[in-house]
Structures are given as structure tokens and as C-alpha cells.
Amino acid sequence: MDFFDSLIEKTLKEISDFSSEEYAYSEKDSWQDIGVNQVILQRDTLCELDGVGFNLVTSKPVKDKITVIGPDLQKIKSNCSFARVSVIEIDSEEDEQAAYNLIRKIEYTKYHTFPEGYMIRTSSKGSKEVVRVAKSACKNKISFQKVGSLFIKKYKENPAVKGVNIIFITDPKADFGYFEKAAEKNHDITETLNHAINNLNFDCNTCKLKPVCDEVEGMKELHFKTKMGKQ
């Protein structure tokens, strides 16, 4: 699964000049999952993190870790911009339909992860992610390392997931517009993969996804391989 590798490379390059803290994944230190969605009222809120959250999958090796660029949760006292990027190593999958299904299953993880005092609001259309952090969670020493460890634990409940690097970005100097565009590109690549697999349209001149097919290495080959298989 290398369709997302170029986007991963660009995203890692985007953050390469920023100072960061790296933490090893620790299942035993992961933040508590309360098992249900929660509501944190404004009066109980320490801060809101407003931005995007998305996954980038690859078959290349990824080390389990949490990367924090900018202030950690204990140091954030007011609302700020935010991005979460999860780079996820999966089993090399020859069957593209199975690979697409796996990507979708991994995406569903964020809808079934409920860190205590860390309310996540997402959009079903796109990668919008807004986090409301409770004052009580701050008192209990919540951190991105602990929340990230919980997410990695949840991702790795899927045996096809081999490694996860979760990157949290809160540095005000970061280009959050880039991450919004990267999230959109990630969505477009996923939809183009689905489009190619399901033989939805083979007239490249009229297909709105043609720019993605042209840009992403291997996508056009997959499209025509599928076409030949249908004949």
C-alpha cells in the first residue's frame, strides 16, 4: 500500500524543521477510555483544540511513538489551532479491495475511542476534528503521550496494523492550512482508490478524479488493471 507514501513524505517534510518531543508507546500508561461519548460543558472546559485529524497508511515500517510539536496539553490554557496526523503501517495487501476496506476500518477507530476528559467532535464529511479538554483531565495529568498511547492501543486491536506514529501539532507557527489541504488530499486519494476498484468510470477525460489518478503513483495502473479484469 504505497498510494499515500508521497503525501506522507510531504507531511513529514512540512514538520521537519520544528522542534518536537517524542514518546514511546506505552499501553500500560495509556489514558483511560470511558467507553462512551461524553459531553464536556463550556464551564468545565480548559481549552478547545480546533483543526483536523486524519490517518495516512503505508506498508513501509513505522515505529510506535507519539510525536508532539508545540505545547502539550498541560501547557495549553486557551483555545488554539491543532492537527493530528496518524501515520499507520499496515500489512502489505495485494488485493486492493481488501486494502480499501482496511483503510475504512482503521478510520472508524476515532469514532470508537473516548478518552476521559478529552471530547472529540468530528465531521462525517471530511477530517474536521475539534477537541474539548476538561479542567479535571488537566488536574489528572492528561498528556498527548497518554492520549496517543490510547489511540495506538485502539488502532492495534486490528491485527493488520503493525506500527503507528501519532503526531500532535499545536505550535502556533505551524501552517495549519497545509494540514487541511493534506487531509483533503488524503480523502481524495482514498476515494480515487475506491473509484478505481469499483470500475465506476473509465472515461478519464470526464472523470473529476483524473488529477489524483495522474498524480498518485500506481493509481492509473490500478485503474486500467481493473478495467482489463472486467472485460
What pTM did the predictor assign?
0.86
CATH class given for the domain over 5-174: alpha beta
Question: In the prediction, which pLDDT does 191 show?
Answer: 83
Share of the chain above pLDDT 70, in %: 82
The helix (H) or strand (E) run that includes residue 118 is strand 118-122
Q: How confident is the model at residue 230 (pLDDT cuts 50, 70, 90)?
A: very low
pLDDT for residue 231 is more than 80:
no
Q: How confident is the model at residue 211 (pLDDT cuts 50, 70, 90)?
A: low
Of 82 and 100, which is predicted with more confidence?
82
Q: How confident is the model at residue 188 (pLDDT cuts 50, 70, 90)?
A: confident
223: CB partners within 8 A, 6+ apart: 196, 202, 204, 213
Q: How confident is the model at residue 100 (pLDDT cuts 50, 70, 90)?
A: confident
Determine the 3-state secondary structure of 61 from DSSP.
coil
**Residue carrying the nine cell digits 470511558:** 34
Question: In the prediction, which pLDDT does 194 show?
Answer: 76
Supply φ then ψ for residue 34, to 5 degrees: -85, -5
Mean pLDDT calculated for residue range 193-207: 62
pLDDT for residue 76 is more than 70:
yes
CA angle 125, 89, 62 (to 5 degrees): 120
pLDDT for residue 52 is more than 50:
yes
Q: How confident is the model at residue 91 (pLDDT cuts 50, 70, 90)?
A: confident
Q: What is the dihedral of CA 204, 205, 209, 213, to 10 degrees?
A: 50
Supply φ then ψ for residue 219, to 5 degrees: -70, -45
β-strand partners of 46: none
Mean pLDDT calculated for residue range 79-96: 89
Mean pLDDT calculated for residue range 105-122: 94
